[in-house]
Structure formats: C-alpha cells, structure tokens
Amino acid sequence: MEVTRMKSYPDTISIIEDKAFLAPSVSVANDLYPSLEESKQKMRGPIIRRGAQIGVNSTLLPYVEIGESSIVGSGSVVTRDVPPRSIVAGNPARVIESDYSTQRLLERLKARFSRYGEKLN
C-alpha cells in the first residue's frame, strides 16, 4: 500500500477584502483537481469582495469571485461568480435576488422575524 503525503501550497491565496464576513465552518477550496500535478500550477482560491457575507457551512470552489456586498446563504456551494449586491443560495448556489437594496433586505428580515414575535428596529 502506498501512502501519499499531502503538501501545503501557501502561495495559492484567496483574497478577502475589507468588511467581508465569513461565518463558522466556511470551506474555501483552491484546487479543482488535487490529484493532478498540472493542477498545482493553476491553484487559486476564491476572491471575496468588500462587504460580502458568507453563510455558515458554505463552500466556495476555486476561482470564484463573490461580488461586493453580496450574500451567500448558509450551506450553499458556490461554483460560479456571484455578481455584486446579489443574494445566492443552494447547491449549486443560484441567484435569488439581484441588485438588492439594503432597505429591501431589512424589510424582508423584519417580516421574517415578526412571525416569531420578535421586533427589529
């Protein structure tokens, strides 16, 4: 039986800009084909733009870009770029709202929490 020792490639970075938020247990990949030696030359993690929010247990595949102020729903698997100010969710992640406004998002949150007897000010 042959055992392969995995190597770390610290120079294959992801970019995380200011005010981005990654919730617990977010997985970030940097290599689509880990067993192929040629793949090591093209390794790159995702780019997470300013103010983006990544939900708990989400997975970001290599090379994807999460646009500025975008939201990735919990448990999503992001396989493609996310446009700025978009909300995506699912496996694979799909756009469920484009070019959202902060006011509209706040209204949706207030409506959702009001069902539970809580109030957001």
**Domain residue ranges in the chain:** 15-114
User: What integer pLDDT is reported at residue 6 of this predicted model?
Assistant: 46
Residue 98 has pLDDT above 80, yes or no: yes
pLDDT at 21: 94
What pTM does this model have? 0.75
- Lowest mean pLDDT: which of 9-13, 27-31, 111-115? 9-13
Domain 15-114 grouped into CATH 2.160.10.10 = yes
CA angle 100, 106, 108 (to 5 degrees): 80
3-state helix, strand, coil in the chain (%, to 5): 15, 20, 65
**pLDDT tens digit sequence for 24-81:** 999 998 877 666 666 566 778 899 999 999 999 999 999 999 999 999 999 999 999 9
CA distance 38 to 58: 27
pLDDT, tens only, 83-93: 999 999 999 99
Instruction: Work out the pLDDT band at 114, boundaries 50, 70, 90.
Output: confident
Q: Could you tell me where the DSSP H helices lie in the chain?
A: 102-114
Can you tell me the distance from the alpha carbon of 106 to that of 119, in angstroms, rounded to the nearest whole number? Answer: 12
Q: What is the pLDDT at residue 40? A: 61
* Paired tokens of 79: 């396989």
Peptide bond before 46: cis, by omega within 30 degrees of 0? no
Q: Is the pLDDT of residue 108 over 70?
A: yes
